Amino acid sequence: MKFKCKMNDAGSMRDFTNVANTVARMSKQCVLRLTQNSIYFNIADDSMAMVWTKLDKNHFFVDYLVAGKSVEFNEIYMELNTGMLAKSVTSLKTVARSVKIKLTNKQQPCLTFDIELSSISAESRLCIHDVPVTIIPQKKWSEYNEPNIERYDISLEMPQFKHLRSVMERIKSMSPILILSADTNGVLAFKVDTNAATITVHFPNLTVLDCTSNNEISASVDIKKFHAFLAWEAVHPTAIKCNILNETVININLNLENYLQIKYYIPAIES
Amino acid sequence: MKCVVSGGNIKILARAIQMLSKIGEEMFVQPQEDSLSFRSVNGSNSSFADITFHENYFSYYAYEDLDESDSLKCKILIRSALTVFKIPSLINKQIETCHIQLDANSTNLCFILKYKNNIIKTHLLPILDCETIRANYKKEGTVNHLCIQPRVLNDVVQNFQQNLLEITIEVLKDKILLRNYIDETSNLSNETRTQLVFGMGEFDEYKINSNTTITFCLKELRAILHFAEILAQPIHIHFDCAGRPIVFICKTLGVESNLVLATLNPDDDLGSQSTTHTRPNSVLKNSAKKPTKAKGKIKSLSKTVFGKLANKYPTNTNTEKIESSDKISNASETSSPNNNNKFNATNSPRVNSAKVIASNSNTNKRENDNSSKQNAFSSLLKRKSNQEIHSPDGGDKDDLVQNSPPKQPSKKAKLIFKKCFQTTFNPESLPGYNNIEVEDSGESD
């Protein structure tokens, strides 16, 4: 089992840090999946919203090497503490020149970050962080698979983050449940129900990318989980897409120039 | 005693109090003939800070009654001093002068702040006690001496986690290694281990006469870094070896701040986990295994080291007559051997180090792991779930890591029944000897 890679580019290191920080804000633990083409940060938990973040190796890394247990299972899955990961990579955002990431065995499996920092003298500082990880055996890999949803009832563009944020900040404390509904005219509605009032916010004129029926599609979700997704603004996605399967699941797709993809699943709850 | 601080110097004063507030709860104010000292010591007496403002720092300084020097020393709560300079970012713009006044036998220390718009604020800080402290340490002539800009050191320390308690510094001839100190109580798998290497080129002065590894508290270091930033002067670091105090000095013409920290004495130099050796050679053996061995010891040490200091420190210091601070450090070095031991006291509780013997051989396994990584992780996982399985095939005995001895479950029982085998033991002396709980069984039937 072997993994190593290197990041030189300041932009990539910044994006990587942003991803690590946002993942840390979502969950305490995450699963890092290393494949031949990409690395994934998965947040998968029964009670939590689920996130699949995919980073394209060609954009982020040089000297990328993953060797799994065998040719057949040429991937590595590991679980790690997101807080430790995020703290270890903070220096990447500003002062680092390059970083090597590798899987090491120092008394226990560790994800090691060899960070070369700029310094005032000719030789640069070398900072090494060992983040302990737990390797996930192959037989448990299937637990971390992405939900397989063939087609959603409706797919449409999401409004801009700043509009979402201003709405969500106001309604998030009103009710534990957010009812999200969309129709084929490109109107996305956020609705909260309280004893005193019912508030619905409409975002009109959104592009509908795909839909299966002309009916209004809606799903009720935990408002905190939906609000949590706003943290992904930190990575400055270029496109946001919202997919809804009627009363089953909401899937939000964030994309940054095709090298960073975030899929955010929020299961619907009974309303 | 009366003095006036004006202009930008007020900011320095505010930062000084901020720094002391990170060290201890109380602040000792000690006016001297030509200087004013603020001192603080932390609860366990493992760190001591002294900030001395010289005459030229003040726009006016009057010691006045020299005869009553004893009555002028005082102790106040640092929290009350902090409230005087609550908004340090604002004060240097609005406050013109700050008067500090301390009268003999007064119950209050008086801070008078004069604002630009003719507002005058008077703070009376209640005096808790009339005592002072001083610490014995030598500032000069230590084996190792470093000098570094606070900004550089700050950048370096930034790489460590904010809540990190202790840091280990390993100094070598040409470079310095900083590591986070991993406490043995914490599980290895919950801690990021960090090591940072930086070269001597980043120091203003670099004199290392012996390679040393020392461990001390990071919080206090951060405090003096914050203070040194405003002085914009390099920090001088003096230290000998593990177990001996490390002294940080940052001074300008008007202000001198000293910070003395106790360092951990783990008997030998294996304070924290050396994490960075990956090659399965002899280096790995030593560096990767020893920490496991050190674990048991260090726990008790860190408690005893600081605890011991706590006992010794105040009794010695409070009672002593005040001398000028320069004399203290040099003069008493020889005169009172007792004092010299203060930080050295860390040497005595070293007894327990000898008894750390046991069988831990999973480290040998580890080497195999390195050569064949395929098995490595499966076995590691297994080990993880079983909480350290020890395989008894302990290969090379020299490098064998020795764990603390397994707990003897029978110990208590032994203790209880041991008495029965003592020749001088008379069972009749025990209370309740005549009571019969259960009658003899058998025979009579």
Q: Which residues of A touch B292 (CB under 8 A)?
A: 107
Give the model's confidence band at A3: pLDDT under 50 very low, under 70 low, under 90 confident, else very high: very high
Identify the top-confidence range among A116-125, B89-98, B341-350, B394-403. A116-125
> How far is Cα A90 from Cα B192, in angstroms, rounded to an integer?
13
Check whether residue B21 and residue B53 sit in a common domain. yes
Q: Which CATH number fits domain A154-267: 3.70.10.10, 3.40.50.300, 1.10.3720.10, 3.90.1480.20?
A: 3.70.10.10
3-state SS, B105-163, equals CCCEEEEEEEECCCCEEEEEEEEEECCCCCCCCCCCCCCEEEEECHHHHHHHHHCCCCC
Place of tokens 């006291």: B345
The CATH number covering residue B251 comes to: 3.10.150.10
Say if CB B108 and CB B126 are below 8 A apart. yes
Check whether residue B96 and residue B148 sit in a common domain. no
Average pLDDT of the segment spanning A107-131: 87
Which residues are CB-contacts of B422 (< 8 A; sequence separation ≥ 6)? none
User: What's the mean pLDDT when you consider all of chain B?
Assistant: 69
Assess if residue B96 is contained within a domain: yes
Q: Which residues of B touch A129 (CB under 8 A)?
A: 192-194
Average pLDDT of the segment spanning B426-439: 76
Q: Is the pLDDT of residue B118 over 80?
A: yes
| Burial label, B411 (beta-carbon count in 10 A; 0-12, 13-18, 19+) | exposed
User: Which of A3, A82, A128, A131 is the best mutation test for B, with the most CBs of B within 10 A?
Assistant: A128
Nearest CA among A152, A165, A121 for reference residue A265: A152
Question: In the prediction, which pLDDT does A47 show?
Answer: 57
From B319, B354, B389, give the residue that closes a domain.
B354
Question: In the prediction, which pLDDT does B148 show?
Answer: 92
Check whether residue B230 and residue B293 sit in a common domain. yes
Question: In the prediction, which pLDDT does A20 show?
Answer: 92
Q: How far is B175 from chain A (nearest CA, A)?
A: 10
Assess if residue B409 is contained within a domain: no
Lowest average pLDDT, out of A10-14, A122-126, B388-392, goes to B388-392
B195 at interface of A, judged by CB pairs closer than 8 A:
yes
What are the extents of the domains in chain A? 2-144, 154-267
DSSP states of B242-292: TTS-EEEEEE-SSEEEEEEE-----SSS--S------SSSHHHHHHHHHHH
Assign 3-state DSSP to chain B and report helix, strand, coil percentages, each to 5.
Answer: 40, 25, 35
Give the model's confidence band at A128: pLDDT under 50 very low, under 70 low, under 90 confident, else very high: very high
Domain count, chain B: 2
Q: Is the pLDDT of residue B283 over 80?
A: no
> How far is Cα B150 from Cα B98, in angstroms, rounded to an integer?
27
Q: How far is A73 from chain B (nearest CA, A)?
A: 13
Q: Which residues of B touch A125 (CB under 8 A)?
A: 156, 196-199, 202
Say which DSSP state B82 is in.
H
Nearest CA among A41, A135, A42, A147 for reference residue A89: A41
> How far is Cα B75 from Cα B39, in angstroms, rounded to an integer?
9
Give the model's confidence band at A220: pLDDT under 50 very low, under 70 low, under 90 confident, else very high: very high
Strands A125-135, A76-81: parallel, antiparallel or unpaired by DSSP? antiparallel
Question: In the prediction, which pLDDT does B238 show?
Answer: 92
> How far is Cα A125 from Cα A19, in angstroms, rounded to an integer?
24
Give the model's confidence band at B87: pLDDT under 50 very low, under 70 low, under 90 confident, else very high: low
Question: In the prediction, which pLDDT does A45 show?
Answer: 67
Average pLDDT of the segment spanning B120-130: 89
End-to-end CA distance of chain A: 47
User: Which of A69, A80, A81, A127 is the best mutation test for B, with the most CBs of B within 10 A?
Assistant: A127
| Nearest residue, CB atoms, B376 vs list A88, A105, A128 | A105
Report pLDDT digits (tens) over B217-255.
999 999 999 999 988 899 999 998 888 889 999 999 899
Nearest CA among A267, A210, A254 for reference residue A19: A254
From B354, B374, B402, give the residue that closes a domain.
B354
Check whether residue B54 and residue B186 sit in a common domain. no
Separation of CA B236 from chain center: 18
Strands B175-180, B193-199: parallel, antiparallel or unpaired by DSSP? antiparallel
Check whether residue B16 and residue B89 sit in a common domain. yes
Q: Is the pLDDT of residue B157 over 80?
A: yes
Nearest CA among B10, B182, B4 for reference residue B84: B10
| Nearest residue, CB atoms, B192 vs list A69, A122, A130 | A130
Write the CA distances from B273 to A243, B290, B356, integer angstroms. Answer: 48, 8, 18
| Burial label, B100 (beta-carbon count in 10 A; 0-12, 13-18, 19+) | buried
| Nearest residue, CB atoms, B159 vs list A120, A127, A134 | A127
Residue in A with minimal Cα distance to B372: A1
- Name the residue range of residue B264's domain: 144-354
Beta bridge partners of A260: A55, A256
Q: Same CATH topology for A2-144 and A154-267?
A: yes
| Nearest residue, CB atoms, A135 vs list B196, B201, B377 | B377
Put simply, the answer to whether A134 touches B369 (Cβ < 8 Å) is: no
**Structural element, H or E, at residue A83:** helix A82-89
Say if CB B32 and CB B324 are below 8 A apart. yes
> How far is Cα B180 from Cα A14, in angstroms, rounded to an integer?
25
Q: Which residues of B touch A111 (CB under 8 A)?
A: none
User: What's the mean pLDDT when you consider all of chain A?
Assistant: 88
Beta bridge partners of B68: none
Check whether residue B35 and residue B97 sit in a common domain. yes
Question: In the prediction, which pLDDT does B77 show?
Answer: 92
> How far is Cα A155 from Cα B117, in angstroms, rounded to an integer?
63
> How far is Cα B42 from Cα B220, in angstroms, rounded to an integer?
10
Q: Which residue has the higher pLDDT, B4 or A50?
A: B4
Check whether residue B119 and residue B73 sit in a common domain. yes
Check whether residue B179 and residue B108 sit in a common domain. no
Assess if residue B424 is contained within a domain: no
Say if CB B262 and CB B281 are below 8 A apart. no
Assess if residue B433 is contained within a domain: no
Assess if residue B400 is contained within a domain: no
A71 at interface of B, judged by CB pairs closer than 8 A:
no
Q: How many CB pairs under 8 A join A and B?
A: 105
Using a pLDDT cut of 90, give the percent of chain B over it.
18
Q: How far is A108 from chain B (nearest CA, A)?
A: 7
ipTM for the complex shown: 0.79
Residue in B with minimal Cα distance to A104: B278
Q: What is the CATH number of domain A2-144?
A: 3.70.10.10
Question: In the prediction, which pLDDT does B342 show?
Answer: 40
Assess if residue B418 is contained within a domain: no
Put simply, the answer to whether B288 touches A95 (Cβ < 8 Å) is: no
What three-state secondary structure class fits A219?
strand
Q: Which residue has the higher pLDDT, A108 or B307?
A: A108
A107 at interface of B, judged by CB pairs closer than 8 A:
yes
> How far is Cα B305 from Cα B341, in angstroms, rounded to an integer?
12
Check whether residue B124 and residue B233 sit in a common domain. no
Which of 387-426 (B) contact A at CB < 8 A? none
Assess if residue B163 is contained within a domain: yes
- B290 in the Ramachandran plot: left (φ > 0), alpha (ψ -120 to 50) or beta? alpha
Assess if residue B362 is contained within a domain: no
Check whether residue B155 and residue B278 sit in a common domain. yes
Report pLDDT digits (tens) over B338-380.
433 344 333 333 333 333 333 333 334 344 444 333 333 333 3
Report pLDDT digits (tens) over B286-345.
333 333 333 333 333 334 344 334 333 333 333 333 333 333 333 333 333 343 334 433
Put simply, the answer to whether A107 touches B188 (Cβ < 8 Å) is: yes
| Nearest residue, CB atoms, A1 vs list B155, B275, B373 | B373
B385 at interface of A, judged by CB pairs closer than 8 A:
no
Q: Which residues of A touch B191 (CB under 8 A)?
A: 84, 132
Check whether residue B200 and residue B113 sit in a common domain. no
Check whether residue B75 and residue B104 sit in a common domain. yes
Nearest CA among A202, A183, A175 for reference residue A271: A175
Q: Which residue has the higher pLDDT, A46 or B214?
A: B214
Q: Is the pLDDT of residue B4 over 90?
A: yes
